[in-house]
Amino acid sequence: MKINRHNIRNGLKSLWLYFYYLSSDSGIFHGHDKFTKFIILSGPRSGTNYLRSALNMHSRVFVFGELFRFRNSIGWDFWAFNKLPLINNIKIELAETSPEIFLKYHVFRPPPLKFSSVGFKIFYFHAKNDSRYKVWEYLIRNKDIKIIHLKRQNMLRTFLSHRRALQTENWVDVSGKSKKPPAMIINPDECKNFFNRMENWQSEHDNVFSSHPNIEILYENMVANREKEFSRVQDFLQVKKIKIKPSTFKQSKASLSDDILNFDDLENEFKGTRWESFFHE
């Protein structure tokens, strides 16, 4: 069995930070306040796991997962924070009722000197319609938080990937050996609604974070020219540039015409629209 060294590295990294924070809570250690706070802002199936896994290879960077993905839980997406109850069980209620306090004191808290950048992933629709909505007020108000806005140009690919993940419940490929997913039929109305929704989300969040330090990363560029785009992100976070690589893999490398059973009909449906280019790869 092949050992995933990346997962072992991240497991040890998160375990070390977990116990550091416990010691900090007890007054044994004190972190520093000269660190960069950031978020990876995006929508579903746009390469956030790809980018996050690469950044977590950097010894000076620590990126949590989708903290506000579900109600009554915290998406730390690190083994130590997920499984060891001394932090997780205590913080869930705070994240539900006072997410701005949760972020200030338990995510963007002074880290050890080892880390100079701390961030997390958040999707456009996270925590928008429940008690956690104040997380957005906090993020917008604190203009020292850097924004990595990750977008995927081909929203048809995004939609297809999202539909497939919902169907298979396979959201991340860390082995590179996933079976070829089955082709599927795409409803054009659902597709159009998704395109409109994604465009509105992207525009809305570009506007609300326009006064923050921000960088736009395109998924397609990140995959095609990984070293260049990861270098841009490291410059943005002001960390020493090193060669980093992701630990996740694309789940499908087939063409759209192979992945979509009604591709020709769908292409005709969108001919002449602003989304026509999504069908030409």
- Give the confidence band of 175 by pLDDT, cuts at 50, 70, 90: very low
Tokens (6 digits) for 56? 């977590």
- Average pLDDT over the chain, rounded to an integer: 88
Higher per-residue pLDDT: 179 or 171: 179
DSSP string, 157-198: HHHHHHHHHHHH-----SSS-PPPPPPB---HHHHHHHHHHH
Rounded to 10 degrees, the C-alpha dihedral 166/263/251/233 comes to: -100
The pair of three-digit structure tokens given for residue 267, joined into one six-digit string:
């292409």
Q: What pTM was computed for the model? A: 0.89
Q: Which two tokens stand for residue 213?
A: 């330090």
Q: Per-residue pLDDT for 170 more than 70?
A: no
For position 1, what pLDDT does the model report? 40
Find the range with the poorest average confidence among 97-111, 140-154, 190-204. 97-111
Share of the chain above pLDDT 70, in %: 86
Mean pLDDT on 232-245: 97
Number of structural domains (the chain) is 1
pLDDT average, residue stretch 265-273? 97
Model pLDDT, residue 164 = 86
Residue 5 has pLDDT above 90, yes or no: no
CATH of residue 143's domain is 3.40.50
The sign one gets for the Cα dihedral 130, 149, 48, 241 is negative
Residue 138 in this model has a pLDDT that exceeds 60: yes
- Give the domain extent around 217: 5-279
